[in-house]
């Protein structure tokens, strides 16, 4: 299988990724990347990833994040280049994708589920407060 690697900054709306793949793919897989960004940046990145999808039923952004069971108890995050990344719980994650949905053509459905993982199984203290939150944001109409 031929694979092309396109190195791009997700915060760049003029990137090679956008220029090459806008509105052209069926599935975007976004694994463990949102946690680098602020709320506003995450909105921008989510909208950008949706913008890579073909405009048809079944097109989907799928991925996972590390989420807190309750973000109000989440440990302070160190800032990256002066910006503090936003840590999610399920409610804030749903809110983010609700905002992404606004203004989109068509209807999308967000599904979420918890993924069990050996890393968390071996660290019960972390498992008690956080988990791998998997998601899909799929065009349904
Ligand atoms: C925790 S790693 C996850 C790597 C891989 N996706 C996985 O699931 O194992 C986070 C990734 O986000 C990438 N990343 C961080 N900021 C980025 C940006 N502005 N644009 C593109 N990728 C970024 C990093 O280079 C790193 O590869």
Domains and CATH numbers, the chain: 23-139 (3.40.50.150)
Give nearest CA residue, ligand 1 atom 5.
31
Mark out the alpha helices in 60-122 (DSSP H runs): 90-101, 118-121
Cβ contact 138:111 at 8 Å: yes
Asked whether 83 lines ligand 1 (CB < 6 A), one says no
Q: How far apart are CA 135 and CA 41, in angstroms?
A: 18
Q: How confident is the model at residue 79 (pLDDT cuts 50, 70, 90)?
A: confident
Q: How far apart are CA 126 and CA 28, in angstroms?
A: 28
Asked whether 128 lines ligand 1 (CB < 6 A), one says no
Residues 66-77 have pLDDT tens digits of 999 999 988 888
Give nearest CA residue, ligand 1 atom 8.
31
Asked whether 31 lines ligand 1 (CB < 6 A), one says yes
Is 90 exceeded by the pLDDT of residue 113?
yes
What pTM value is reported for the model? 0.95
Query: Ligand 1 center to residue 63 CA distance, Å?
Result: 12
Query: Ligand 1 center to residue 141 CA distance, Å?
Result: 31
Q: How far apart are CA 50 and CA 28, in angstroms?
A: 8
Q: How confident is the model at residue 15 (pLDDT cuts 50, 70, 90)?
A: very high
């Amino acid at each position: 299988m031929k694979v092309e690697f396109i190195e791009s900054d997700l915060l760049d709306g003029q990137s090679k990724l956008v220029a090459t793949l806008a509105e052209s793919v069926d599935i975007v897989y976004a694994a463990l990347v949102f946690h680098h960004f602020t709320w506003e940046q995450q909105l921008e990145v989510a909208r950008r990833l949706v913008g890579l999808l073909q405009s048809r039923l079944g097109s989907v952004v799928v991925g996972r994040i590390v989420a807190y069971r309750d973000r109000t108890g989440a440990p302070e995050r160190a800032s990256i280049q002066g910006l503090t990344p936003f840590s999610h719980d399920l409610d804030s994650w749903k809110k983010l994708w609700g905002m992404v949905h606004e203004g989109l053509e068509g209807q999308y459905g967000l599904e979420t589920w918890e993924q069990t993982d050996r890393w968390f199984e071996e660290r019960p203290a972390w498992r008690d407060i956080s988990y791998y939150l998997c998601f899909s944001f799929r065009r349904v109409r």
